[in-house]
Amino acid sequence: SDSDTADEAVRATCDDASTCKRFATSKAYWKDPYIQYFVRQIGERKAPEINRGYYARVHGMNHLLDAFLKKTGCDCQVVNLGAGLDTTFWRLKDEKNLPRKFFEVDFPTIVARKIHHIKTKPPLSKPLIETHSTDSLLLDGHSLDSDRYCIIGADLRDLPNLEDKLRKFQINPELPTLFLSECVLVYMTPEQSSKLVQWAADTFHTAMFINYEQVNMADRFGQVMIENLQRRQCNLAGVDVCQSLESQRERFLMTGWDGVNALDMMSIYSMLPQEDVARIEQLEFLDEKELLHQLLQHYSICWATKDKLNLGLSQVAF
Ligand code: SAM
């Protein structure tokens, strides 16, 4: 059906993200020794502004994630929604900064592929075994559950099923919990993403939600971005051309979150450690600064908190 085609195109976006990250890391924008095991080929060259955009995206998300881990002293859980082939678990393991448990959710077909990579590549499976206390690690074609890392195949638009599966794998509503969604909510209708965000607020009393996605799409540049996605028959249910930083904040304020911040990626790029920004700006010559600025102004990070345990989550910022 049309909707199956659209969902298939959405699943393909996880390859896009990983391929771009693989390329940027091959140019030393940042280090990721694990992505090569999910995406073997470096692939064709990406434009410098794309690489800088991914640099801002990865560093922006990592900055907030690491700040949450610090506030909670790692006595917390992380749930990466629409995780795709993300490698954050392995980074945190190497940095000795793992939460009590790291959950990932994606469509079952993506999950099956990811599990296959993990099973067949020792650099990916070794950290799971090392952080597991018994010999009962669950690892079959469709699910993987260990003490510290778990992948769940589920559709984020089906909340009862999502909650069932998270509970089956021992998510604890009493623990501070961080939700990540990086380029994911845009593929759902505004109603579906609001319900997801609401469910998170209703289920966890101390939590943070970090969402990265497109913003300010009403102008000419935004139109071109949308046309590019539509050409690939993506289900763009969530592309609301009127989505502004204000409406990003509103989605969380209307669904039970207490503190909400939103910044476009141009602001975030200017707040990242400037020494490292200077370093990456030397990597590839970029003639058209204006193009980078346009691109960065069309993406945002919105982060929301609720904090019954008074951990100071509302202070997490750049
Ligand atoms: N978050 C990863 C990253 O930034 O590298 C992957 C981003 S990719 C653009 C979007 C991911 O969201 C895909 O892996 C896709 O399968 C997943 N996704 C989108 N809609 C979903 C849904 N309804 N249920 C589960 N996963 C979904």
Q: What is the pLDDT of residues 200-216, one digit of tens each?
A: 999 999 999 999 999 98
Task: Please give the distance, rounded to the nearest whole angstrom, from the Cα atom of residue 83 to the centre of ligand 1.
Answer: 6
* pLDDT for 170: 96
Lowest pLDDT segment from 105-109, 186-190, 294-298: 186-190
pLDDT-derived band at 217, boundaries 50, 70, 90: confident
Task: Please give the distance, rounded to the nearest whole angstrom, from the Cα atom of residue 282 to the centre of ligand 1.
Answer: 32
Residues of the chain above pLDDT 70, percent: 97
What is the average per-residue pLDDT within 130-153? 88
Residues of the chain above pLDDT 90, percent: 81
What is the average per-residue pLDDT within 125-153? 89
User: Three-class SS of residue 268?
Assistant: helix
Tell me the residue ranges of DSSP E strands in 100-176: 101-106, 138-139, 144-145, 149-153
Task: Please give the distance, rounded to the nearest whole angstrom, from the Cα atom of residue 190 to the centre of ligand 1.
Answer: 16
Query: Which among 105, 184, 186, 301 is the best mutation to test ligand 1's pocket, defined by most ligand atoms within 8 Å of the CB?
Result: 184
Q: What is the pLDDT of residues 224-276, one digit of tens each?
A: 888 887 777 666 676 777 789 999 999 999 999 999 999 999 999 999 999 99
What is the average per-residue pLDDT within 13-30? 94
* pTM of the full structure: 0.96
pLDDT-derived band at 55, boundaries 50, 70, 90: very high
Task: Please give the distance, rounded to the nearest whole angstrom, from the Cα atom of residue 210 to the centre of ligand 1.
Answer: 14
Residues flanking ligand 1, CB < 6 Å: 10-11, 13-14, 17, 82-84, 86, 106-107, 110, 155-157, 182-184, 187-188
Burial annotation 37-66 (CB, 10 A radius, 16+ → b, else e): bbbeeeeeebebbbbbbbbbbbbbbebbbe
Report the nearest atom of ligand 1 relative to the CA of 86.
Answer: 5
pLDDT-derived band at 12, boundaries 50, 70, 90: confident
* pLDDT for 156: 98
- Looking at the predicted structure, is the pLDDT value of residue 141 above 70? yes
- Looking at the predicted structure, is the pLDDT value of residue 172 above 90? yes
Residue with CA closest to ligand 1 atom 11: 82
Task: Please give the distance, rounded to the nearest whole angstrom, from the Cα atom of residue 135 to the centre of ligand 1.
Answer: 31
Q: Which is nearest to 299 in space by CA: 253, 270, 263, 275?
A: 263
Q: Are 280 and 52 in contact (CB under 8 A)?
A: yes
